[in-house]
Structure 1
Amino acid sequence: MRILLVLLFTLTATPLWAAQPFTPEQEVRIKALIRETLIANPDILEQSINAWQQQANEAQGKQLNQFIAANKKILYEDPGSPRFGAAKPVLTIVLFTDYNCPFCKIFDPLLEKLVQEYPQVAVVLKPLPFKGESSVTSARVALTLWQQHPDQFMAFHQRLMAKKGFHDASSIASAQKTTGVTPVESSEQSLNVLRSNLKLAEQLGVQGTPATLIGDQMVPGAISYEQLEAIVKQQLAQAEK
């Protein structure tokens, strides 16, 4: 591997102003040596890729930790964001979700199961209106209900998540009626919360829902309960050190 690195360094690291151009024969020989080295040591390329990937992951993790440290209040303590689970959590999970997202509807019950099995964990919900106007409407009604009647939120949230397909005015009204919650008019604050959620999602590089911030890991997509639990156990162990 050292031979390959030396050859690559020779080709790329010498300043143009100081270097004498290689002759065609030298270039052919250098390329041949690189090829021979790779053939004789096929693991070199994989090792190099793995090392690069590790460096990239470490840099990304450092940036994420810096962002979390600078935005703890809005991520974890925003009174306008619904939450469930532990009142004084060891670990707080942030879920970016959408009431029209089919994968969110699959993943959401896993988080409810998680907080039952791990009473030291809390979940903060950050609705995102990624899937059209009814995503905005359903999220605003849910957020307003949380702001005005937080004790009624969870039943309504679960009902919205239980519906297959997209919501409309009729399905939202039906969810209110079925759960017996107090009818609310969408507040201006709910719109501000959605705007804040969109800004956070953009800064975190969220491309779709669900997306879950678990400790110092940003997890895209609807993972299995086993995967979720493994990450949570790891993050709890770090938090409890």
Structure 2
Amino acid sequence: MTLLACVALISAAISFSSIAEPLTSAQQNQVRELIRDTLVNNPQILEEAVNAWEQRSTEQAGARLGKIIEQNKDALFNNAASPRIGAKNAKLTLVSFTDYNCPYCKQFDPRLEQIVKKYPDVAIVLKLLPFRGETSQSSAQYALTLWQQQPDRFLALHQRLMSKKGNHTKGSIVSALKSTGNDNLSIDKKTLDEVRSSLRLADLLGVQGTPATLIGDQMIPGAVSYDVLEQVVKAQLARTSS
């Protein structure tokens, strides 16, 4: 008996009981026994049920994500306050939620840069999430300030901040600024608006931690391998070209 047949049989029994006399205890036991025997003799039914539930959940989650992306597309893709690397007129724009104190972000960020070098139609928007303390916040604000004032100098500072092993200290941030020729840079307090915007978007999209990367209509959590990242990017590029 297939999953659909089993469901149909149970539904028929329930429907019949709703228009006739309630099932007796003996009849209820018979129904339970029928269900038990069906599952014992056809264990694949449970796998089918789980797979159907997972597919339905994935489709529903995708629909919700697509709606959120559409409602917030300007904030995600077109906010001038968000740092951007790669193509100016991109066919595909990734959104990377990242943190300068996140060890996994430090591993993953070079893979993103490799993608934009290999694929000239790809751009990356960076959303800095200061999840890991005071130096997460201050390093993010310095980077955002430099992006607003001298965007052509942003990438060097970004790479320097990402290259630090372990959490930043005030001294390591000062060192990063000096080594990239930005030692006179002062934080623009208006950058807090961009941080708050990134946090709001992360919350809406269900981002649980960093790194998290929005690629087309998919949210990719964690520091996935370059091969996985490239596979998703290529699939999304093919969709935009079709």
**Structure 2 length as normaliser, TM-score?**
0.94
1:4 equivalenced with 2:6 (yes/no): yes
1 CA distance for matches of 2:132 and 2:91?
A: 33
Gaps of 5+ in 1: none
2 CA distance for matches of 1:212 and 1:173?
A: 28
1 CA distance for matches of 2:197 and 2:227?
A: 31
- The aligned residue for residue 211 of structure 1 is 212
SS at match of 2:45: helix
Query: Which stretch of structure 1 is more off in the superposition, 182-191 or 61-70?
Result: 182-191
Q: 1:70-109 to 2 correspondence within 5 Å?
A: 70-109=71-110
1 CA distance for matches of 2:55 and 2:125?
A: 30
Paired residues of 2:92 and 2:121 also in contact (CA < 8 A):
yes
Computed over aligned residues only, the root mean square deviation of the Cα atoms, in angstroms, reads 1.6
1 CA distance for matches of 2:26 and 2:168?
A: 69
1 CA distance for matches of 2:205 and 2:45?
A: 33
- The aligned residue for residue 51 of structure 1 is 52
- The aligned residue for residue 230 of structure 2 is 229
2 CA distance for matches of 1:169 and 1:179?
A: 16
SS at match of 2:90: coil
- The aligned residue for residue 183 of structure 1 is 184
- The aligned residue for residue 241 of structure 2 is 240
Paired residues of 1:93 and 1:215 also in contact (CA < 8 A):
yes
SS at match of 1:231: helix
Q: CA deviation at 1:9?
A: 2.1
Paired residues of 2:17 and 2:23 also in contact (CA < 8 A):
no
Aligned length in residues: 240
Identity %: 52
- The aligned residue for residue 61 of structure 1 is 62
Q: CA deviation at 1:168?
A: 1.6
Question: For residue 189 of structure 1, what is the amino acid of its counterpart?
Answer: K
Gaps of 5+ in 2: none
- Deviation digits for residues 1-27 of structure 1, max 9, x if unmatched? 2342034325666786x5633222112
Paired residues of 1:3 and 1:37 also in contact (CA < 8 A):
no
**Structure 1 length as normaliser, TM-score?**
0.95
Paired residues of 1:7 and 1:34 also in contact (CA < 8 A):
no
Q: CA deviation at 1:146?
A: 0.5
